[in-house]
Structure 1
């Protein structure tokens, strides 16, 4: 400044930037913000370039850039682009961790988890993606299918491995946690290993002509899928007209009374290959993997079996249908 004293004292820099005097003095003492010159009395003075340097330091520190990296940027040894790219990646990882933590806290608050459950859920959120894949692979590899039909079911399971994305939604995290709870359950693993693939519609109703069986199952699928899409509880009152309509159609087609015996006969045949807990596992896999649920594609049988076996008064009296 042509021999004149630079205009800014540490107090002036603090007033202009809002940075505490102690912090500015620390930057100056460590050489990050060297004074432009000193007065005869030894006081530090800074020019406008130093003021701009201090503002840059403040921005980098606000972004959690460390002091060594900040020094390299100021000295020209590292570009702002390189620093921004590296810290953008680091910030993205922090956001993912915070999103996972938020989901964990919401889950704990919503279900009144025990200390053991909290510890387990926290551990699961810290499991890396390769460890998650190994966890599922070990589970599927350990399934011991005892029958040819069960072997086919296990083979199908191994083609659809749940894979939690790097940025899961709350719904995907919830589904992942439920999957880990299921695959840790010995009883569920036994059920899954013995689960058979469902028969084709034309083969599902033993003793019924294939075309007639396929037609009945198509009718049931349409009626039940609509109820499922509407969120109807199979054990609730709103399920009554749905299940009554399906049973009436079966009774008329099979020339049987609409009674408890027919309903149990239907339930026994429809539950083959449709374990409700296994169906739940499949739905969770779809959620974790972010697969689009095609209307009418998910199994309707578990819903209908539950509705058929729920004790309650029906919307019409028992009668023996008459074929038209």
Structure 2
């Protein structure tokens, strides 16, 4: 056991702690671990308690604390617990920043892009909760501007705003990636135009069954309401999985299980056009990304099945 009255030179202290003489001298000059006294020749001498203090300083420094904070801990102006709690908060903030950077760099690595696009994505990813919500609000407003709020399809606007007020503190890498992709998506002019076209068309054709249509409304729009999504999921998805050609005899048999076989060729063509208006992979991706951010259970993609149905309708409408 060390003699508590024993005094150590800086070299001996370095050997006891495994720290370099240079580091101990720097910390000593900074007032973190001051020498107990000096020798007749002016050399620094430290008591045995300096070993424990230096071990604590090393630990706190490895955790990222600055020397001023370390000095306050050693002077008992703050407790180690207080410092640890503050440091946890700082580390959490740093982790969130690193997650954002990783998401941006990973997206650029996957899809390419210019330096300017990378800068823009990084700015979008770093937005506050209020700024993120404003981005979504602006997108939804532009999409549904002028659409009758009482139209049956207008309720979609509210659903499109269901962005969480804040990503959870223990957000997953997938949630960070989802926000980066969503922010990029809603700022894409082509996507905004496509969503707008769907909203306008939805306000025009999304009515209760049997309700009279507007003058000039495509006849196929009312027929589209008769398409059962469950039948599409059951039969068209299976056709996609099995690689059934939409224009083949087998494709026609599958089609007959989904829509009324008595539809004329013109009705099939109009129905295909109407379904195509509301079938878009990027719009579906918007909902998928919202699901990731809100922690909703994943839902299988419906678009490939509807794309197959559209192709089968058009093939069967061709003489």
Corresponding residue of 1:165 = 167
- Partner deviation per Cα, 1:199-219 (whole Å, 9 max, x = no partner): 5896797787x9xx46x5532
**Stretch deviating more after TM superposition (146-155 or 156-165):** 146-155
- CA gap 1:261/1:131 in 2 versus in 1, 3 angstroms: same
- Partner deviation per Cα, 1:24-76 (whole Å, 9 max, x = no partner): 11121222211122222222121221111111111111111111111111111
**Post-superposition offset of 1:244:** 4.7
| 1:220 equivalent in alignment to 2:232 | yes
1:37/1:46 contact within 8 Å kept: yes
| 1:112 equivalent in alignment to 2:124 | no
- CA gap 1:281/1:150 in 2 versus in 1, 3 angstroms: farther
TM-score, structure 2 normalization: 0.75
Corresponding residue of 1:65 = 65
TM-score, structure 1 normalization: 0.74
2:9/2:46 contact within 8 Å kept: yes
* Matches of 1:226 and 1:172, distance apart in 2: 30
**Stretch deviating more after TM superposition (55-64 or 272-281):** 272-281
Q: What secondary structure does 1:8 align onto? A: strand
2:28/2:34 contact within 8 Å kept: yes
Corresponding residue of 1:290 = 295
**Post-superposition offset of 1:92:** 1.3
**Post-superposition offset of 1:100:** 2.0
Corresponding residue of 1:86 = 86
**Post-superposition offset of 1:283:** 2.6
Corresponding residue of 1:42 = 42
**Post-superposition offset of 1:12:** 1.6
Q: What secondary structure does 2:35 align onto? A: coil
1:286/1:292 contact within 8 Å kept: yes
* Matches of 1:207 and 1:73, distance apart in 2: 74
| 1:238 equivalent in alignment to 2:238 | no
* Matches of 2:239 and 2:18, distance apart in 1: 62
Alignment of 1:156-235 (within 5 A): 156-161=156-161, 162-163=163-164, 165-166=167-168, 167-194=170-197, 195=199, 196=202, 199=206, 213=226, 217-224=229-236, 232=241
- CA gap 1:101/1:20 in 2 versus in 1, 3 angstroms: same
- CA gap 1:41/1:178 in 2 versus in 1, 3 angstroms: closer
- Partner deviation per Cα, 1:230-266 (whole Å, 9 max, x = no partner): xx5xxxx725379555313247x43468xx7675354
Alignment RMSD: 3.8
* Matches of 2:77 and 2:26, distance apart in 1: 22
